[in-house]
Structure 1
Amino acid sequence: MGLRLACRPLKPIDARRAREYAKHAMPSVHLTRHLYTFFPHLEGQHLIVEASTAGEVVAALEKLAPGIGFYICDERGRLRTHVNIFVGKQMIRDRKGLTDAVAADDEVHILQALSGG
């Protein structure tokens, strides 16, 4: 005897509601655990920023947590060698200018490499 599930069909979203959602959607940002050591007020928060490039994500984080931008980028604004930024599942390619596009519904992950012996 099999299990039967009763499901009702989902209502389609009309075009107007879809546009409203898209207008308010913003990328969410996930940080490596190590960064919460230095910026504990960000821990446990759902980080959502208004940004269309990786550089704008870093700038928005800097407004939320002054100093985090220098942890991510060097004094010339380039991504530090031990830091990687992923937009979705793709690592960004422009480590110098951080011009990689970020869509409103993207998840951005900022990770630091582990080193040591």
Structure 2
Amino acid sequence: MAHVVFTQQLKRFTEVPEVDTPAATLREALQAAFEINTRLRGYVLDDQGHLRPNVVVFIDGRRSHERVRLDDELKPDSQVHVLQALSGG
């Protein structure tokens, strides 16, 4: 099963579950996490269901390039890391 991990920075705002899921796409994997904690969705996706500008996803060590459809394919043993970009000075 694909394993989804969220940055601990989000933990300041809401629960960040680690999820093992049989999802075949990034969107399905994210949805599995949102089913555990619905509040997490608003921190990761915008109102149109696209990745927020300050969020980046790595799948098996490679940056996901599909921010709208989120249809990046996952392997059964994929490692998905959802990170929140930091800004400021």
If the length of structure 2 is used for normalisation, what is the TM-score? 0.90
1:1-117 to 2 correspondence within 5 Å? 26-40=1-15, 42=17, 46-117=18-89
1:17 is aligned to: none
> Residue 35 of structure 2 aligns to a residue in which SS?
helix
Spell out, residue by residue over 1:64-99, the C-alpha distance to the aligned partner (whole angstroms, 9 max, x if none).
111111211100011111000111011111111101
> Size of the alignment, in residue pairs?
89
Identity %: 33
Give the 3 Å change call, closer, same or farther, for CA 88–41 of structure 1 in structure 2.
closer
Structure of greater Rg:
1
- Structure with bigger strand share is 2
Q: Greater helix share, 1 or 2?
A: 1
Residue by residue, what CA displacement relative to the aligned partner does 1:37-61 show, whole Å, maximum 9, x if unpaired? 223373xxx5212311111111111
2:26 and 2:16 mapped to 1: Cα distance? 22
